[in-house]
Amino acid sequence: MNKTPFSKIIAGTMTWGVWGKNCNNNEMIALLNCCMENNITSFDHADIYGDYTTETAFGNAFKESKIDRDEIQLISKCGIQLQSDNRKNLIKHYDYSKSYIISSVEQSLKNLKTDFLDLLLLHRPSPLMEVDEIAAAVEKLKNDGKILDFGASNFTTQQTDLIETKTKINYNQISFSITDHAAMLDGSLEHMQLHKIKPMCWSPLGRVFKKDDEQTRRIKKLAKSLSLKYNVPIDVILIAWILKHPSGILPVCGSSSKSRIAELMKATTINLDLQDWFALWTASLGEPVP
């Protein structure tokens, strides 16, 4: 199977199910079609989303939508074990044994109504993960055609280096936004560029629309003026700020609003002026950049 590039904006499905909008089947089909109409063809999942139910809801909608599997890319994550009515877990923990990684992927394939994942990510690092177990699982899943590519999520540079002693990591999905830009300053994004690891970022709008404080008010004030300059909504300006970084970050946008989804890809057409980019960073910091 040939690898199809991920869309420059990735649709995050976490809020499509019971952890968010709780879309019914028809609403989820409508969201799928809206994404496709706006050239968002990549969909980010995790086995735990919706208390282990969202992948199934998406899979049912995808099957009924009649969208060609070759036209989309499916990402999922595994490793987190939640306390849930759907699991016999006594406590939240992580499991990166070979058998669990394989069984989790096989369950995701069943839920998503597909034969393969375009990308498997380890959801969060575990102090007890053994790289030989992980590498053996990844090798088998690739050889069996059940995953096309492999990466991590929320892993540090040292943790990715450890995994890469046994198997290549091609993606790392991290938290990154105008309000959470530590990865830009602690060497993480440079490390990814050096090791040819493609960054994805979750929560790309950060705290801007979740908190009302001095920082978010500064950012929104400037972003509002820039939205007039570039003739796009404020959230598109904030996504464009991320896209300008030379590491080629792929934002995972979790909106379940069709109107917002329709606007998101506009960010890929905007190249913020250098000083506008730094002005946004300055607004976030509340002082001149270092």
Q: Which residues pair with 80 in a beta bridge?
A: 94
Choosing from 49, 52, 96, 171, the catalytic residue is 49
Q: In 10 A of CB 128, how many CB atoms?
A: 10
Q: Is 49 one of the catalytic residues?
A: yes
The Cα–Cα gap between 142 and 164 comes to 16
Backbone φ and ψ for 245, nearest 5 degrees, come out as -65, 135
Helix axes 54-65, 98-112, angle to 10 degrees: 40
Strands 93-94 and 42-44: unpaired
The Cα–Cα gap between 65 and 67 comes to 5
What does DSSP assign to residue 71?
A: G
Q: Which residues pair with 24 in a beta bridge?
A: none
The Cα–Cα gap between 149 and 231 comes to 37
DSSP 3-state percent helix, strand, coil across the chain (nearest 5): 45, 15, 40
Which residues, in sequence order, are CB contacts of 122 under 8 Å at separation 6+?
Answer: 77, 78, 79, 96, 101, 129, 134, 151, 152, 153, 155, 163
Q: Which residues have a catalytic role annotated? A: 49
